Amino acid sequence: MAPNPKQKPNSDAGRTALPFEPKRRKPAEKKAEKTPAPASSTRKPSGKTASRANTGIPDAVSKRMVRRMAAFCGVPTVLGISSFFVSYLAVTQGVGLPTSAVLLVSLGLFGLGVIGLSYGVLSASWEEEPGSLVGFSEFRTNFGRMTSAWKSAKQDKS
């Protein structure tokens, strides 16, 4: 597409910024930004209020989530990748395998991997004890908490 001769190439006048674009600063704002801030405002808060243990996911729960994600996502994903090799071997041996069957099987297994990733996170117990092996009750609890948080956030917006 040829550039419009009536528009300047670097002109941003009259254009609205997209939501993900950073805000552009004027040269005067850049100079003000370079002045150092007082030392008291740049110090981080001390004490246990800013520690990771109080604000983040406990280490045991985080490791449990990773193990569950690896199991519930990894197994279907590996099966999805191996379905390509199995179908290749079947076709080279003379089995009449339609390409749509290979597509549907691999797509289904990769889809299970995506669902397993979410289930792995939501089925982990946030207590120190590990909970059940599959995590159905933990999933119901965590999914209920997540949906109630979505509903309260939606009500706060309105």
- For residue range 89-140, list pLDDT tens digits in order: 999 998 888 999 999 999 999 999 999 999 998 988 888 777 788 888 889 9
Residue 148 in domain? yes
Integer Cα distance of 53 and 59 in angstroms:
8
Residue 118 in domain? yes
Q: What is the pLDDT of residue 19?
A: 60
Q: What is the pLDDT of residue 40?
A: 47
Integer Cα distance of 72 and 84 in angstroms:
20
Q: What is the pLDDT of residue 131?
A: 77
Domain count, the chain: 1
Residue 145 in domain? yes
Residue 142 in domain? yes
Q: Which domain holds residue 142?
A: 58-157
Percent of the chain at pLDDT exceeding 90: 35
Q: What is the pLDDT of residue 133?
A: 82
Residue 114 in domain? yes
Residue 136 in domain? yes
Integer Cα distance of 99 and 106 in angstroms:
11
